[in-house]
A = this chain, B = another copy of it.
Amino acid sequence: MAISADTPRAAGSPAPAAAGGTHARGGPPPRYGTRPTMKDVAARAGVGLKTVSRVVNGEPGVTPDTERRVQEAITALGFRRNDSARILRKGRTASVGLVLEDLADPFYAPLNRAVEEVARSHGALLINGSSAEDPERERELALAFCARRVDGLIVIPAGGDHRYLEPEIAAGVATVFVDRPAGLIDADAVLSDSYGGAREGVAHLIAHGHRRIGFIGDRPRIHTAAERLRGYRAAMADAALPVDENWVSLGPTAPERVRAEAERMLAGPRPVTALFTGNNRVTVTALRVIARLPRSVALVGFDDLELADLLSPGVTVVAQDAARLGRTAAELLFRRLEGAGEAPRRVELPTRLIVRGSGELPPAGD
């Protein structure tokens, strides 16, 4: 029998699941949108409230016969425990909040999934939201999660000041920052080695003969962007190569800006012969620019891309393990929840240079 989702029921046709009465026999039929409670189940089964609670939670001390009667009442009424009340009473919510930049970003999605898996293995649900790189929105989300009394919070910071979380952390909300460190507070953080990864990637380009290398990255206030730029400069310095500041561009990763900057660096009498791109979004746009050029330009990007191996030439990347970032952060969080009372830790995961050929092009000139 099908049920119409929202058709209001006439008094003469009560919802089948609730037929028989939420209230004592003879009472009015339950209003649409009103759910039966343990009290209703108890009344129907002819037992006490606590007995229903025991059955629902699988607690011992209920005879099989009583249990059967309760189960029948539960099924007949379509009862489902109200976790809000349960949470209120117990204090723990078995849920974790995750604030990231963009749920849809191919870099963060696996991180999201990894956090979900760890949460699931601990019996916790995941609430999440996208900050869209807006500090105020990050704050709103994180505090909304705290109001829901999440047991723990995982944050990919958009802002640079997380003092607003101090009362929450002090109150026991286990908090772990991922991908970027917390601002102005001392807290757990799980990061990738942005500096080392960028340095290695740029060194790869240098090793293949490039001397004029452009760097296009995210906004400078973002920790990873700054670190990767630092890695770029270190690699150039290692090889005693000068850096023309026209080769460096930090800013929003919107395709228009990245395209303009890439085209600028690749134009003129002495263009760069290679690009190092600071994250997956930048890389994709840069690849589109390069694809339209008659000559070949070397590129190494931070973050792996799904089809990077199928492009020709394959795209060399500095890969982060986003899933591992998420997993590590979530595991750290649950260790905290289980009472590991050490000082905040900063975990740094290594990156991996995946050479696929795009860095190995002979330099175009110089």
Contacts and interface: CB of A to CB of B under 8 A. Distances in A.
A113 B120 contact: no
Nearest to A323: B104
B93 A103 contact: no
A146 B8 contact: no
Interface stretch (A181-189, A206-214, A252-260): A181-189
Contact of A4 (B18, B106, B172, B344): B344
Interface residues of A, number: 84
Nearest to A123: B144
A149 interface: yes
Interface string A116-127: 100010000111
A169 interface: yes
Given A306-B106, A306-B284, A341-B8, A32 B172 contact: yes
A127 B125 contact: yes
Contacts of A148: 83-84, 125
A307 B284 contact: yes
B6 A341 contact: yes
Contacts of A166: 3, 16-17, 78
Interface stretch (A63-71, A235-243, A266-274, A309-317): A309-317
A2 interface: yes
27 contacts: A2-B186, A3-B186, A4-B344, A6-B336, A6-B339, A7-B343, A8-B341, A18-B170, A78-B167, A78-B168, A78-B171, A80-B146, A80-B171, A82-B147, A82-B149, A83-B147, A84-B87, A84-B88, A103-B113, A103-B116, A104-B112, A109-B109, A116-B129, A125-B148, A284-B306, A306-B306, A310-B311
Interface of A: 2-8, 15-18, 32-35, 78, 80-85, 87-88, 93, 95, 102-106, 109-110, 112-114, 116, 120, 125-130, 143-149, 166-172, 174-175, 185-188, 284, 287-288, 291, 305-312, 323, 336, 339-344
